[in-house]
Amino acid sequence: MAAETIPQLFLQSVRKFQKADAFRVKQHGSYTNISHKEIFDKTYHAALGLLTLRLTKGDRVALLSENRPEWVIADLAILSAGCINVPIYTSLPAAQIAYILRDAEARAIFVSDANQLSKILEIRSNLPALRRIITFDPHCAGDEAISLDKLIETGASLPNPKSYEEMISTIGKYDWASIIYTSGTTGEPKGAILTHWNFVTNAITCVSIIDVSREDTFLSWLPLSHVFERTGGYYTPLHVGATIAYAESMDTIPQDLIEVKPTVMISVPRFYEKTYARIMDMATSGPRLKKYLFFWALDAGRAYVKQKLAGRVSFANKLKYAIADKLVLFKIRERTGGRLRFAVAGGAPLHRKIAEFFYAVGLPILEGYGLTETSPAVAINTFEAFKFGTVGRPIPGVEVQTAEDGEILVKGPNVMLGYFKKPDMTNEVIVDEWFHTGDIGFIDREGFLSITDRKKDIIVTAGGKNVAPQPIECAIKTSKYIAQAVLIGDKRKFISALIVPNFDNIKKYALSKQIPYTDMASLLKNPKVHEKIQSEIDRKSENFASFERIKKFVLLDHDFSIDSNELTPSLKVRRNIVEKEFKEHIDKLYEEDEAF
């Protein structure tokens, strides 16, 4: 019988694969293996333990933790007990966590460590529904919280407990599995209600079109609180018996890649953009012969990929690519551990130039499209159906069409039930079973979907011209001197931008041009630096219409961050926050022109 719920999917995987290295985690400086059996035993006993806390089917249980095996145990225990998981980003401050816990009416919460526990204790008096706190760190246990180990011990010591199969038998495919609060680039977060079947059908469908198996190893580092990682980097590999290894932290990913040697990785475009910038910087700053060899090899890779995607590679290109790979390209792949078969990109647009670069060096990125409300996958490129500049064709069972204004509409088993406690908002976005995504795009003659931008982010200039900021921002970020860009210009006479430079490369440029400076702020005020950035913007904007091009810009002396609330936990820019924060700088760009 095919799995219809997440606990069924888990149980089938444990019975079928019984792997000794189902999960891998770094402890005391090296990676150690955790078996399916160990995860199953702890999950089963933790679920029994939850039932002793008088939690009942349908109760909401929050999960506030970084990626680690305990996240999986807690998630599966919550779902196996018939409860609903409310995952929360660890980067959120106490006040935002309080909003989610109050709105969800969470009765219990799992926390990872003392830092996260302190946030909950700070707001607990304002959370009347919250009865229990369970901590992964046994040193934090006490009067306020019990440890996960104690919860597991309690469940294991019960006389004549229900079997796991009996426990999960009452859970139906359309029962709620999770309420995931959107990161809220504008307004307050909304809780998307996802069922067991939303998740299961999405994972099973993706496996039917992308070849992954028990032989694969996934490196997990995107927050499991994000639906992209949860479905793509957790439920999907769990279903096929692939190994899941957890990165120690975002800062250690380069070293973790080498140690884990993953075959599959899931990430947002920001990671690929930074990796591309580092590789290009190393290539262009080396000796002339090394630089020539790098770009020769890259051209050979691009020619090979072009013919490969067309269905036929000439002998000459095969030979040229083999030489290029042996001399240059394999060295780039070695930095990812040497076994990476492909990566997946989602959550934001990936610039075509970056996608072509990685495919050329032998690291294809399968770009897809989805949202929290669609569990998440709607469309994805596959090796059998791949097209640069698109997010692929809709996955089987999911229908996609565009409205008159270009908005993408989605219908299928992956679409959420609605927003928790927000029926009016639900009725606005789900009309006749079609989910209105808020994204603008189009489907080409071959059935490939392309995303233009978020509907709400489209800039309408004072002259009535519509400008989609994301394609322009993605293009100029391919410059090694530009790390971030946010376009401005709604109801204004022209397009301007907030630019975060690549600080390392700007410093190198200043050194090469003998530009004196005392700190980054003083360097960014130098006219020569402004001229350089302007030339880079102009060079990267050649394919855009004149009204779409950036006429003025502000250079910022710090990058956007999650801590400052400028980025969502999935690294998307909160445009309304950024525009408000830098309003004075933005207004100055337009003062002279708007004075006439």
Taking residues 299-310, what's their average pLDDT?
96
CA distance 342 to 263: 7
- pLDDT for res 109: 98
pLDDT at 123 over 70: yes
User: What is the chain's alpha carbon radius of gyration, rounded to the nearest angstrom?
Assistant: 25
Residues 6 or more apart in contact with residue 348 via CB below 8 angstroms:
268, 269, 270, 470, 570, 571, 572
Is the backbone of residue 421 left (phi > 0), alpha (psi -120 to 50) or beta?
left
pLDDT at 20 over 70: yes
pLDDT at 502 over 60: yes
Strands laid side by side in the 84-88 sheet: 146-147, 132-135, 108-111, 60-64, 84-88, 176-181, 191-195, 418-419
> In which residue are the tokens 């130098």 written?
526
- pLDDT for res 571: 83
Cα 456 vs. chain centroid, distance in angstroms? Answer: 21
Whether residue 339 contacts residue 263, with contact meaning beta carbons closer than 8 Å, is answered with yes
More confidently predicted of 214 and 188: 214
3 state SS of 542:
coil
- pLDDT for res 111: 98
Q: For 379-422, how does the pLDDT look when each residue is reduced to its tens digit (9 = 90+)?
A: 999 999 999 999 999 999 999 999 999 999 999 999 999 999 99
CA distance 557 to 501: 8
Question: Token pair for residue 80?
Answer: 């196996």
Taking residues 500-504, what's their average pLDDT?
95
Q: Within 10 Å of residue 115's Cβ, how many Cβ atoms? A: 12
Q: How confident is the model at residue 572 (pLDDT cuts 50, 70, 90)?
A: confident
- pLDDT for res 332: 96
How many CA atoms within 13 Å lie on the side-chain side of 36? 20
Taking residues 499-511, what's their average pLDDT?
95
Q: For 317-328, how does the pLDDT look when each residue is reduced to its tens digit (9 = 90+)?
A: 999 999 999 999
Q: Say whether the peptide bond before residue 376 is cis (omega within 30 degrees of 0).
A: yes
CA distance 375 to 435: 12
3 state SS of 559:
coil
Q: pTM higher than 0.85, yes or no?
A: yes
| Sign for the pseudo-dihedral over CA of 35, 254, 222, 61 | positive
Cα 513 vs. chain centroid, distance in angstroms? Answer: 38
Residues 6 or more apart in contact with residue 119 via CB below 8 angstroms:
64, 93, 94, 97
What value does the mean pLDDT of the chain take?
A: 95
- pLDDT for res 284: 86
pLDDT at 596 over 50: no
Q: Tell which residue, 392, 387, 437, 389, has the closest CA to residue 412.
A: 437
- E strand map for 457-526: 459-460, 466-467, 482-488, 495-501
Structural domains in the chain, CATH included, are 6-171+210-267 (3.40.50.12780), 458-594 (3.30.300.30)
CA distance 399 to 397: 7
CA distance 261 to 450: 32
More confidently predicted of 499 and 283: 499
Q: Within 10 Å of residue 463's Cβ, how many Cβ atoms? A: 9
> In which residue are the tokens 């975002």 written?
250
- pLDDT for res 595: 41
Q: How confident is the model at residue 183 (pLDDT cuts 50, 70, 90)?
A: low
pLDDT at 127 over 50: yes
Q: For 332-381, how does the pLDDT look when each residue is reduced to its tens digit (9 = 90+)?
A: 999 999 999 999 999 888 999 999 999 999 999 999 999 999 999 999 99
pLDDT at 188 over 80: no
- Cα angle for residues 443, 538, 543 (degrees, 5° grid): 30
- pLDDT for res 184: 54
Per DSSP bridges, beta strands 399-402 and 407-411 are: antiparallel
